[in-house]
A and B are shown apart, each in its own frame.
Chain A
Amino acid sequence: MKNKRKFSKSHYDYLKKYRTKKILILLTQIIILVAFLLLWELLTKYEIISSFFFSSPSKIAETIGEMFRSGELIYHSKITLYETLIGFAIATGIGFIVAFILWYSDFLRRVLEPYLVVLNSLPKIALGPIIIIWFGAGSKAIIFMCILIVIIVTIMNIMNSFVGCDKQLIALSKSLGANKFQIFFKLILPNSLKDIVATLKINVGLSWIGAIMGEYLVSKAGLGYLLIYGGQVFNLNLVMTSTVILCVLACVMYFAVALFEKLMNKYYHS
């Protein structure tokens, strides 16, 4: 309520209804989570389902505590987080620049289009063996796998958004004598902001996929390594724990992007 105007009673009723609904939604979300955890805990406690195969919330919490004390939690999370973030940043950055170049040059865009389409439909995991040979069995290979998975989608999404800008707005800018860089920074970029943020959100998910997939292939450490290792020694408790940690990290990264979106909107919407 920026201006302290008096509103009618019906407006306050409306606000009240709105808030009640909001609270109700949040409450239901929490109840579902708690109920799920509780059910899981009880079912495994009384061995209705096997706690060996399904682990249990308390066991997972215990394992997280143990791993935290031994430093393993930080160690493995750090490695995977590092790979994901580097992969995400490089792929998004280069993807953005390539999208810009392809928007700028109609010739290049038409030349490269079929290559992009083929690269996009190729399952990147198929390149695993080549990547290992080129980059060795270490972080480099994992980051490369991550970049490979993220970059093509980034290029295609952002380029399509750039190219899809309203032709009439471009005509207006041209009638004002705008050059291509002015058109890009004053028109194309703010116009594509929504799509860019949407691409970033997709990239969060994809870069985690890339990093974990890379770790499945080659790693000696990281959350993906823990998942594979846990699976191989039938320590499902470790597998579940790693999954939970992954969930939390991916969530944090997603919210960071959402925050970025808010800041950008503030900057451009005035």
Chain B
Amino acid sequence: MNELVEIKNLNLIYQSIDSETTALQDINLTISNQEFIAIVGPSGCGKTTILSIIAGLLKASSGSVMVAKKTPNPKDNLCGYMFQRDNLLPWRNIEKNIYFGLEIKHLNTKERKDYALFLAEKYGLKDFLKKHPSELSGGMRQRVALIRTLALKPELLLLDEPFSALDYQTRLELCDHIFDIIKKEKKTAILVTHDIQEAISMADRIVVLTSRPGTIKAIHETKFPTTMTPFERRKTDKAKKLFDIIWQEIQNEKQKKI
């Protein structure tokens, strides 16, 4: 197994004028290539913080994080970060929104642009390239955001609750869709979510965090056959059992807090 992400004894402390908050404490996690990891936990447990550190947006207070054996830096083209909101630029049309990442990274060559267009076409956005974000539905906009990310050919996708702003129907559809894209393009992914079912349906391993300061409480392997779609996974008994276990774990954490 080749490891893509190695987190060792990671601690993160947020400083503010009148307090000091330990957000993450002693996190150890190794993620291999093409693995799909989900991180769940009670609100405010530092799920997003982990992603920010892996993306190189935040510096760890102590401990080490290595992505492909290097200290993460957003200037490297290793991680693709997908946010809860699609963050499309309203003044650009879809095509130019897809090129935004390429422009920032000075990678807007003909070849890369063609690849981006190829992705857009492949995933059903061909007829919308000249439209503006406001003319698209939420699910489509999030798909545009994904293609903007994939156009950079990142090794690792960081998904920060990318479905939570969508309605239920769209969420399930897009879940399948994005899962399919990630598997086909052979990417590694870390998904942060509130939605336990979503985590179970997509991930190979699920990391459950404790409430603040966030530490790893448990790691569950889902072990579904690789051919199953997230939608099919949701309906299995195994998913239901796993849901109960994780639900209880998070519930216990919440009570501890009170």
The reply to whether B83 and A270 contact each other, CB–CB distance below 8 Å, is: no
What residues of chain A lie closer than 8 Å to B75, measured between beta carbons? 177
| B83:A176 contact, CB within 8 angstroms | no
A177 near B91 with CB under 8 A, answer: no
A169 & B74 in contact (Cβ 8 Å cutoff): no
Question: Contact at B96–A174, with CB atoms within 8 Å?
Answer: no
Whether the Cβ atoms of A171 and B93 lie closer than 8 Å is no
Q: How far is the CB of B76 from chain A (nearest CB, A)?
A: 7
- Interface bits A230-270 vs B (CB < 8 Å: 1, else 0): 00000000000000000000000000000000000000111
Q: Would A186 and B103 count as touching, CB distance under 8 A?
A: yes
Known: A177-B76, A186-B100. A171 touches B89 (CB 8 A): no
**Complex interface residues of chain B between 79 and 118 (CB less than 8 A to chain A):** 79, 81, 83, 85, 87, 89, 91-93, 96, 100-101, 103-105
Instruction: Please give the number of chain B residues whose Cβ is less than 8 angstroms from any Cβ of chain A in the complex.
Output: 23
Q: Interface on chain B toward A: helix, strand, loop, or mixed SS?
A: loop
A190 to B101, CA, bound (A): 16
Q: Is the CB of A270 within 8 A of B93?
A: yes
Interface string of A127-152 (1 = CB under 8 A from B): 00000000000000000000000000
A209 within 8 A of B: no
Q: Does B55 sit within 8 A of A, measured CB to CB? A: yes
Kindly state whether residue B59 has any CB partner on chain A within 8 Å.
no
Residues of B close to A173: CB separation below 8 A: 104
* B91 and A172 contact, CB distance less than 8 A: no
Q: Is B57 an interface residue (CB 8 A)?
A: yes
Q: Within 8 Å of chain A (Cβ to Cβ): is B8?
A: no
Among B76, B79, B87, B152, which residue has its beta carbon within 8 angstroms of that of A172?
B87
Contact with B along A154-186 (1 / 0, CB 8 A): 000000000000001101111111100010001
Q: Kindly identify which residue among A168, A175, A191, A193 contacts B74, using a CB–CB cutoff of 8 Å.
A: A175
> From B103, which residue of chain A is reached at the shortest CB distance?
A186
Q: Residue of B at shortest CB range from A187?
A: B89
For A175, A178, A193, the residue with the greatest tally of chain B CB atoms inside 10 Å of its CB is A175
Q: Mark B136-149, 1 if CB is under 8 A from A, else 0.
A: 00000000000000
Q: Residues on A close to B: CB < 8 A?
A: 168-169, 171-178, 182, 186-187, 190-191, 193, 268-270
User: 3 closest A-B pairs (Cβ-Cβ)?
Assistant: A177-B75, A175-B81, A177-B74
A-B CB contact pairs (8 Å), 15 listed = A168-B85, A175-B79, A175-B81, A176-B81, A176-B101, A176-B105, A177-B74, A182-B104, A187-B89, A190-B91, A191-B91, A268-B91, A269-B91, A270-B92, A270-B93
